[in-house]
Amino acid sequence: MINFITEDIHYSLFTIHSQSKIERWIRAVAAGYGFAVGDITYIFCSDERILEVNRQHLYLPGYGCVQCAGVRNSV
């Protein structure tokens, strides 16, 4: 199952139709490489929300943030 979640942003271009097209494309690419798609969740959110989640779940005392990843939305 492939899930698309928007949180803390307004993303009006992200419709059910576009989600279906993206899901078909992801499955086709995986199949082209001989793989099947398992469970994937894409979460689209603001930079502030990413920072909040990273601080909440990825911060280890003495080590700082152990993994901080994000992709900038250029739209």
Condensed to tens digits (0 to 9), the pLDDT of residues 28-70 reads: 999 999 999 999 888 888 888 888 887 787 765 555 554 445 5
Question: At residue 40, what are phi and psi to the nearest 5 degrees?
Answer: -135, 135
pLDDT higher than threshold 90 for residue 25: yes
CB 67 within 8 A of CB 50: no
Beta carbons of 40 and 4 less than 8 angstroms apart: no
The structure's pTM equals: 0.59
Q: Is the pLDDT of residue 73 over 60?
A: no
Query: What pLDDT is stored for residue 47 in this prediction?
Result: 85
Q: What is the pLDDT of residue 10?
A: 73
